Amino acid sequence: MTRSLRIYREAYLKALENKSPADQKRITARFLSRLVRDRALSKIGQIEKGIRRAHMKNSGRSEIAVESAAQLDPKYRGELERMFGTRALIRETVNPDLVAGARILVDDELLINATGKRFLNDMFAPSHHL
């Protein structure tokens, strides 16, 4: 990879500004070709994450990632929507490895980690305070 992820992200976002959907599609195809030529396609996940984060920031929105051990109850999703407002994009994922509870990240920053896995790790971790 010859360029930093930031350069790829900024160039792509700048190229898309004020373009029609058809132009955006062509620009995206050329962008992916460039990643292949630069042998940077393996970094597409990181680049996409940076692009998504920049887009959300530019539009004044927040991304809320909720990872729970089981499907989130609609009542709790409603509470999250009420807490974070309509400007938030709420993404849900189910991860049984969490054992119980949920983890909430706001713009990729951990806000709450109320998972059974964390509780068990804390309970069985060696104590340094003895």
Over the stretch 67-98, which tens digit does the pLDDT of each residue have?
988 888 889 888 888 988 888 888 899 988 88
Phi, psi of 59 (to 5 degrees): -95, 5
Q: Parse the chain into domains and list their residue ranges.
A: 5-58, 62-124
What is the pLDDT at residue 23?
93
pLDDT above 80 for 130:
no
- Please, what sign has the CA dihedral across residues 70, 72, 73, 76? positive
Q: Is the pLDDT of residue 121 over 80?
A: no
- Position 123: which residue type? M
Hey, which of 34-38, 58-62, 99-103, 108-112 has the most confident mean pLDDT?
A: 34-38
Q: Mean per-residue pLDDT for 34-40?
A: 88
Question: Do 101 and 68 touch, CB atoms closer than 8 A?
Answer: yes
Burial of residue 26 (CB within 10 Å: 0-12, 13-18, 19+) is exposed
